[in-house]
Amino acid sequence: MSSNARFISIEGVEGVGKTTNLKYIQQFFSDNGIPLYCTREPGGTPRAEEIRNLLLHKNGEQINRMTELLLMFAARTQHIAAVIKPALARGEWVLCDRFTDSSFAYQGGGRGIPMEIIEGLTSLVLEGFKPDFTILLDLPVNLGLARAQTRGEKDRFEQEDMAFFERVRSVFLARAKASPDRYCIIDTTPALAEVQRELHRVLSEYVLNS
């Protein structure tokens, strides 16, 4: 068991290739014999997955933006207590598909909720807990939306327009640039093999040196 387990989040706008690259990261950990617990937000526990269903699926009733934000944090507090902290305590690394940065980007940037409100909720719910390292996959919005077109039915977020995703992307980039020690930005415009060479370099440097 590894005693230097860390909490990594992976973030990015629609179509950047999170799902594809998450599999690559899992393989990297497995190849290096390092225990990894993979999870996602919103979701990650049975109750939090129920909240995910409320958030992602349309049923005819509009969701108020503040309801959306509070549900993200309701799912998150359950997820941290029931899954993330216990895994870290067992000595497993945790890889989370989206975390609090997505709330700043989507509910703050996308929906226009003031950042101070999200900062306040973050302090209240997380009490200083945050990822040790965040991989931000980045791609121009038009390319991401074109890549995402290849998937099936769109969820509630995927139906937003280009301007919404531009605002989301600029918040992700601004947050990453403001804290370069915690974030690594990987451009996913190049072919997948090239993106994964860069991911391998970043993981080797961060994970194998921790």
Q: Which residues bind ligand Z5A (CB under 6 A)?
A: 12, 14-20, 41-42, 72, 97-98, 102-103, 106-107, 147-148, 150, 157-158, 188, 191-192, 195
Give me the least distance between CB of 31 and ligand Z5A, in Å please: 20
What are the tokens at 163? 């301007």
- Choose between 90 and 197: whose C-beta lies nearer to ligand Z5A: 197
- Choose between 30 and 159: whose C-beta lies nearer to ligand Z5A: 159
Give me the least distance between CB of 47 and ligand Z5A, in Å please: 15
Q: Is 139 helix (H, G, I), strand (E, B) or coil?
A: coil
- Choose between 41 and 138: whose C-beta lies nearer to ligand Z5A: 41
CB contact at 8 A, 70 and 64: no
**DSSP states of 35-86:** -EEEEESS-SSHHHHHHHHHHHS--SSPPPHHHHHHHHHHHHHHHIIIIIHH
- Choose between 59 and 150: whose C-beta lies nearer to ligand Z5A: 150
- Choose between 49 and 158: whose C-beta lies nearer to ligand Z5A: 158
- How would you class 188 by CB atoms within 10 Å of its CB: exposed for 0-12, middle for 13-18, buried for 19 or more? buried
Phi, psi of 92 (to 5 degrees): -95, 140
Give me the least distance between CB of 67 and ligand Z5A, in Å please: 12
Residue 13's nearest CA partner among 143, 127, 115 is 143
